[in-house]
Amino acid sequence: EAGVTQSPTHLIKTRGQQVTLRCSPISGHTSVYWYQQALGLGLQFLLWYDEGEERNRGNFPPRFSGRQFPNYSSELNVNALELEDSALYLCASSLGAGTEETQYFGPGTRLLVL
């Protein structure tokens, strides 16, 4: 069974640009989560989508947004990129929406903002 996949694996952008990251969950999983792993800041929760709806949002500015498609895949969009957005962006999926459900992570997209 295929795991969570993310694209692209690496990305280089300049300040002010916009970026879209993509995630495909494990087959049958309806919940998708996005996390940011920035150097020195640890792992921070960004967004949670379930059944096409945004269910929860972390403490990030509105220029971080996303959506979930009918096939449960998801996009994360970041507008007006800033240097501090440089990070590893991790997507995870879970079978259901309960807190006991395991979140399975993809390999991540490494974003560098110059």
Residues that bind other proteins (CB under 8 A): 4, 31, 33, 35, 42-43, 45, 48, 55-56, 58, 90, 92, 94, 97-108
Closest approach of other proteins to the CB of residue 38, in Å: 12
In angstroms, rounded to a whole number, what is the distance separating the alpha carbons of residues 14 and 62? 19
Nearer to other proteins, 67 or 103 (CB): 103
Closest approach of other proteins to the CB of residue 5, in Å: 11
In angstroms, rounded to a whole number, what is the distance separating the alpha carbons of residues 85 and 111? 8
For the beta carbon of residue 114, count every other beta carbon within 10 angstroms. Answer: 10
In angstroms, rounded to a whole number, what is the distance separating the alpha carbons of residues 114 and 86? 8
Nearer to other proteins, 81 or 92 (CB): 92
Closest approach of other proteins to the CB of residue 8, in Å: 14
- Asked if residues 14 and 113 have their Cβ atoms less than 8 Å apart, the reply is yes
Closest approach of other proteins to the CB of residue 55, in Å: 6
Q: Which amino acid is at 80?
A: A
Nearer to other proteins, 50 or 85 (CB): 50
